[in-house]
Each structure stands twice: as structure tokens, then as C-alpha cells.
Structure 1
Amino acid sequence: MESVTRGGTRWKRFALVMVPSVAATAAIGVGLAQGALAASFAVSGQEFKVTAGYLDGTGFAQYGGVDMGYKDLKGDEKTAHPVAISTFKNASITKMCQSVVTDVPFVGKITLKLKAGDKGTPVQAKNLYLDVSELDANAKFTNIDIGVAAKDTDNPAGGPGPAGKGPAVKDESILPNGFAQQAERAELTGVKQKAWATTAGTFELSGLSMRLLKGSGDGVECY
């Protein structure tokens, strides 16, 4: 069975993303708890943008969740961010871009921009947990199950959960019987998305380029 989704997406709907890491040239150490990767950090007060030409992922699952983090860049007040959590056991992506804008005192807006996977060798990632608030893309799913309980996301064809064993749920904060979906394979083209966080086992970025650019908006950010 194959399923195709086109157009804009929001929380609790289809949201498949690929998010590069600022520390992308190294493997990211993660804690394993009951076969699932656990995120124990508070997210920053900034969302970041990501674009991708093509993403090909296997062992996919998705469910709703909440990221706890700082409300803004200035204080210690915390807030909750509703997210769609997408997980992949393995993923390959081409033409990837990440950007985040910071308003620097006495300087103005500065954009940190990362690009990779655009020189013939795709970005490779394993055991991904991607916390997304917005997505626009064309998506194709192979052997998809919609409506499965989050605790039962364990697609055998794509591999038993992104962590390699057990359910694909991110941590114990996820409602175990909440709505989820899983698929053997997920393919996305023309990805544009906003995210709060990503957690990964390994992230290999070929042709990584990082630049600090003055200003923001079209032509400076990824989109």
C-alpha cells in the first residue's frame, strides 16, 4: 500500500522532516531507555528553519508530543511547545539547509546558516527523533498504518523502532495510547519546515558549510 500527501501540514497531521544539527560533523551521544532514545534537555527559545530537496527514510513512526523549553531568549520562564514527533531508523537526504536568526545587541539580526548534502553525497542519519511545528512537502508513504497506538509503533518491515528494538516512542512523556502512525518507508520532496529540536544517534553531513550572515528573510535564511 502506498499513500501520497501533498501541501501544507500542521501539528497532529503528517509531518516528516530532516533536521541538521549545529554539531553535525560528529556523532551525537544519546541515552537509551527501554529501547528508545530519551530527550532530557529543555529546548531553546528559538525555532529554526530547514529545507531539503529529497528525504528517503525507513522505519518511520509519528505521534504528537510536547517539548518543554524556554519562552524566549531573555529569561528563565518555561513554556510548552506542541510538536509532531517524527522518527526514522535510517534516513538519507539531499540538498539540506538549516537556518536560525538571532537578534544581536548593537549588531542587528544575524542568521546562522548550514548547508550539506548538495555535492553528490547525501546526508546520512540513524535513530532520528524530530520535533516539528510546521511542514510543507510532497510525501509518499509505503505500507503505512494510520491510527496505531504510540506504544505499539514497531513496524517490522522498516525495522523494530528507530532505536533498533522495541517501540519508537521518544520517552515516557508521550501518551502510550495516543494516536500515531507508522510506515515501512517515507519519501519527501520539496521540504520546508520549522522545528524546535532533533535527537539522533549519528549524523553524517557531507560537504558541510556554515556561514554567519547579516540580516534575515528571503535570500538569507533557508526560506
Structure 2
Amino acid sequence: MESLVRGGTRWRRFAVVMVPSVAATAAIGVALAQGALAASFSVSGQQFKVTAETLHGYGFEQYGALDVPSGKGPVPVAVSAFTDATITGLCQSVVIPTPIGDVTLRLEAGNDPKHKVKAHNLYIDLDQLDADATFKNINIGVAAGSMTKGPGIDNKATTKGDSFAQEADEAYLTGVKQTAWGTSAGTFKLSGLSLRLHMGKKAECY
């Protein structure tokens, strides 16, 4: 009987912690699926995983910066920015520790090639990226403050205008795998949005 009570307590704590955030995330997800608002993804100072079958972007810029996740000190990141991007097979996942064990929050969108994820003024703060990439009219080694091809330096980024950067008119990435500290966009339309909770870590994007 005692173990049942403790188990019940853990479940109640889990519900108190997770239900409001999941409900809010679901409501935001509906709005994003309809293209109704801007988006910013960050998870309490945690890294999250992102994969995509393809990412086709116009107005590409990349530069070094410092991110300041909630509850953490500054961390170095590479900011990848796109004026406009279309994505197929998008997956984002984060593992959340809870009183009943690890829970994976997994978001998917754009799995139908006819209904891709679309983003405007997209910024990704990442510290690892693996992909096959093709760039059109790329400039390597420009100063971050002199970039002209993309959306410009994010106002939230801590960087120097003379830091190393690169830019291109167009970028095409396939087989994308990355870890990120944050993602933001002026508009982010998640067609075919699916959001699920899974016990354990097996449902991570990779």
C-alpha cells in the first residue's frame, strides 16, 4: 500500500509539472500549424535534438555567438540563419527528467512532401551539425557585421560584428542532424504537426 501511495504521488507531481506545459504547447502548436504566430523553441537550459530530411533556404548566414540558456551560463554556439526556408521531415525532441523517469517530448512536421514546414527569418543556435550541404554564391570569412545576404544578426545573440562569418544566396541541406540550444523564427508554419510524449529516451529524433 505504501508503494502505491508513493507511486500515486509521483504521478500527481508529474501531472502538475507536465499538463500545463503540454496544454500550452499543444495550443501553440495548433497556431503554428495554421501559420498564426512567430515561434521560439528553448527548453529550460537544455539542448534538444533536431533532424530533417531536407532544408532548403534562401538568404543563408552563419556566425559564432554566445547563447545564454535559462539557468546556465553563456555557451558558445554557431547561429545558422535563413531569410526563408522550407523543411521536409522535421523532428525535434527533448528529454525531460521527471519524478517517474525520463520523458521524451517529440515534435514532427512536414512529413508530406506536398505540405512542407515553412519559416521566415529562421535562427538556429546550434553546437553540432551533420548534413550534406550545397551552397550557391557563398562568401566565406566575411565579418559578421558586414553580412548582406540573410536576415542579419539576431538581436538576442551575443557576438562581435568583426567575428568570422559566412553567407550564401542559397543553401540546400539533406540528412540534417543537429543539437541546438534554441530556435526562433518570425513565422513558422508546421504543416502536419504531431506532438507526442514517450517514456524513456528511445523516441529521440536520433
TM-score by length of 2: 0.79
Q: Which has the larger radius of gyration?
A: 2
Which one-letter code corresponds to 2:81 in the other structure?
T
CA RMSD of aligned residues (A): 1.9
Change (3 A) 1:145 1:52: same
What CA distance in whole angstroms lies between the structure 1 residues aligned with 2:124 and 2:81? 6
Secondary structure in 1 aligned to 2:69?
Answer: strand
What CA distance in whole angstroms lies between the structure 1 residues aligned with 2:83 and 2:101? 40
2:37 pairs with one of 20, 23, 27: 27
Alignment correspondent of 1:65: 65
CA contact (8 A) 2:46 2:69 kept: no
Q: Does 1:173 align with 2:122?
A: no
5+ long unaligned stretches in structure 2 = 1-24
Q: Does 1:182 align with 2:135?
A: no
Report how far residue 183 of structure 1 moved: 0.0
More helix by share: 2
1:132 pairs with one of 118, 126, 146: 126
Change (3 A) 1:179 1:197: same
Moved over 3 A (4+): none
Which one-letter code corresponds to 2:101 in the other structure?
G
Change (3 A) 1:82 1:113: same
Which one-letter code corresponds to 1:193 in the other structure?
Q
CA contact (8 A) 2:133 2:173 kept: yes
Which one-letter code corresponds to 1:200 in the other structure?
A
Where do 1:13-24 residues align within 5 Å?
A: 23-24=28-29
Secondary structure in 2 aligned to 1:200?
Answer: strand
2:178 pairs with one of 185, 188, 193: 193
What CA distance in whole angstroms lies between the structure 2 residues aligned with 1:179 and 1:63? 6
Secondary structure in 2 aligned to 1:79?
Answer: coil
CA contact (8 A) 1:42 1:68 kept: no
Secondary structure in 2 aligned to 1:180?
Answer: strand
What CA distance in whole angstroms lies between the structure 1 residues aligned with 2:39 and 2:190? 16
2:92 pairs with one of 68, 92, 98: 98
What CA distance in whole angstroms lies between the structure 1 residues aligned with 2:183 and 2:133? 20
TM-score by length of 1: 0.73
Change (3 A) 1:42 1:138: closer
Report how far residue 125 of structure 1 moved: 0.3
Report how far residue 43 of structure 1 moved: 6.8
Report how far residue 29 of structure 1 moved: 6.8
- May I ask how many residue pairs the two structures share in their alignment? 173
What CA distance in whole angstroms lies between the structure 1 residues aligned with 2:103 and 2:57? 32
CA contact (8 A) 2:126 2:181 kept: yes
